[in-house]
Amino acid sequence: MSVDTVIFSGEGPHADPWHPLAETSAMLARLIGDEGAVAVVTSVDQLEVALDGARLLVVNASADRTTPIPEDEIFARVLDGFLAGGGSLLAVHSATIAFPQLASWRSAVGAAWAHGRTFHPPIGPSLIRRSGVEHPISAGLGDFEVHDERYTELELVDGLDIEALYVHDEGGDAHPLVWARTVGSSRIVYNALGHDVRSYESPGHQELLRRIVAWLRHDS
């Protein structure tokens, strides 16, 4: 079976002390594809070769730094080529912290964690609410509960048409958690959920993830 999906699981400069990325990447691999169809890579140097023939890149990464490193530019080149060829992207949870100051990454995802502004309430049971936006991913789905962090006040990229499919309520406002965009022939989704494996144990989150992946693979 050929590899259809590649998960970039951050390590070293693409990880942080707070997120168990290896565990969540393994869980993602089990949930989104058949054995042998999903590859997990942990090095930017492995990414270009791994993506050859793949339809979907999942980025489950972070950073415990605020400045770029040369490897970030390599990632940007690989990502730009993948998207230009019609590949799809799913950025997960702390991916908005990854690759700091990398403009092409921020533009692709649509938002970034802004240090000093973005925060999350204490991790715990949370209600994730479906917005009124109509989209194939969320059609027929409802609200669900999950044990997770709820990212709040993410810095959205100016000029991008971001319509949240799922939100959470904090401080009297609705904050976007999941959105989907089409850029040329590429499809992109950001899913702010997924701090640890408890998040992916939620039946509601599992069904949402299945819908996301089907849309990104052009299966729906």
Q: Tens digits of per-residue pLDDT, 46-85?
A: 999 999 999 999 999 999 999 999 999 999 999 999 999 9
What's 189's domain CATH number? 3.40.50.880
**Cβ 93 vs Cβ 195: under 8 Å:** yes
**pLDDT at residue 204 in the model:** 98
| Segment 129-150 mean pLDDT | 97
Structural domains of the chain, count: 1
Token pair of 167 as six digits? 């939100």
For the stretch 92-102, pLDDT in tens is 999 999 999 99
For the stretch 7-56, pLDDT in tens is 999 999 999 999 999 999 999 999 998 878 999 999 999 999 999 999 99
Q: CA torsion angle for 156, 159, 163, 168 (degrees, to 10)?
A: 20
Look at residues 111, 125, 79, 106 and name the one whose alpha carbon lies nearest to residue 178: 111
Q: How far apart are CA 83 and CA 104, in angstroms?
A: 11
For residue 219, name the pLDDT band (cuts at 50, 70, 90).
confident
**Sequential DSSP letters for 59-119:** EE---S-SS--HHHHHHHHHHHHHHHTT-EEEEEGGGGTSSTT-HHHHHHHSEE--TTT-B
Global pTM reads 0.97
**pLDDT at residue 160 in the model:** 85
Q: Which domain range does residue 80 map to?
A: 5-216
